[in-house]
A = this chain, B = another copy of it.
Amino acid sequence: MKKLVLTGAAGRLGSYLREPLSKMCDTLVSTDIADDIGTLYPGETYVKGDLASLDDMMKVCEGADMIVHFGAFVDEGPFEQLLGPNFIGAYNVWEAAHRHGARRVVYASSIHAVGMYPKNEFIGTDVPHRPDTFYGLAKCFAEDLGRMYWEKRGLESVHMRILSCAQVNNARALGSWLSYDDLIQLVTRCIETPVTGFSVIYGVSNNDRAPVDNASASFLGYRPQDNAEDFAAEVLAQTDPLDPQDSGHMCHGGPFAAVDLGQSGLANMTIVDDRKTT
């Protein structure tokens, strides 16, 4: 692997991926809209760029083997706010990857693409979309886009539907947690698997209560090691009875399934950053 591109490199998950990705290739091109992202890892370069600009994406993707696409507005918000980074941004990344002859896009999709399914329905990777927010709708858009680029242009993509990658501090997270270590394994497998075509896989740890079905993505070899059950006793002790009629508790999307469309601020409420300091 000569060159990898990482979008969203200044974001919470993106910044965590910089180091491991830098070790997988000769050159890691990290990009984000921030002015800088601090000290670079060996082999890493940083290019400031706007996802909403095809020119910018053309620049960062030049010569890339694969693009690891984590850049986005990472919260629910008005459609107008997500249009640039999340919708147009996805198009720009795939289009730039295609024009430069890249092999694959590894994409941070989300459970919110299918967040309206009830939690007691064990959903596979090929159920029809049921987005819970504009945020989730952008994930649906990128998944369909990725499938089309594969079927029409031979550009591979793997869509990692991350459930929740943050501290386990509520009952839903006992099932939905994706640990940072498992995130890294997942991204690694999506990169190193020799052929993937168009694939979808859930990003979730080996939780006892994991509510989604990764069987059909088995060939990718993702075998998570962490288990949120370690936190179960403590979390459940602090959990009041939950209303089963509330889609925020009964649906895969959790709070996003219950929120009014377009209402930002949700991500901040539900996610606590507990990365180990690097």
A residues touching B (Cβ–Cβ < 8 Å)? 65, 79, 83, 87-88, 91, 95, 103, 116, 118-122, 126-133, 136-137, 140-141, 144-145, 147-149, 151-154, 156, 171, 174-175, 192-199, 207-213, 215-223, 229, 232, 236, 239, 241-245, 249-250, 260-261
Contacts and interface: CB of A to CB of B under 8 A. Distances in A.
A194 B236 CA distance: 8
Contacts of A95: 79
Contacts of A260: 152
B242 A195 contact: yes
B145 A215 contact: no
A85 to B, nearest CB: 14
B198 A120 contact: yes
A122 B219 contact: yes
B195 A250 contact: yes
Nearest to A172: B194
6 contacts: A119-B195, A119-B219, A127-B128, A141-B144, A210-B218, A212-B218
Copy number in this complex? 6
B156 A130 contact: no
A253 to B, nearest CB: 10
A192 B236 contact: yes
A63 to B, nearest CB: 14
Nearest to A129: B144
B151 A144 contact: no
Contacts of A249: 194-195
Contact of A141 (B141, B194, B229): B141
A137 B151 CA distance: 13
Nearest to A261: B152
A88 B87 CA distance: 11
Contact of A239 (B65, B151, B194): B194
Nearest to A87: B87
A157 to B, nearest CB: 11
B122 A218 contact: yes
A104 to B, nearest CB: 9
Given A120-B216, A137-B144, A175-B219, 5 more contacts: A120-B196, A137-B145, A154-B244, A208-B222, A210-B218
Contacts of A212: 218
Nearest to A239: B194
A217 B145 CA distance: 26
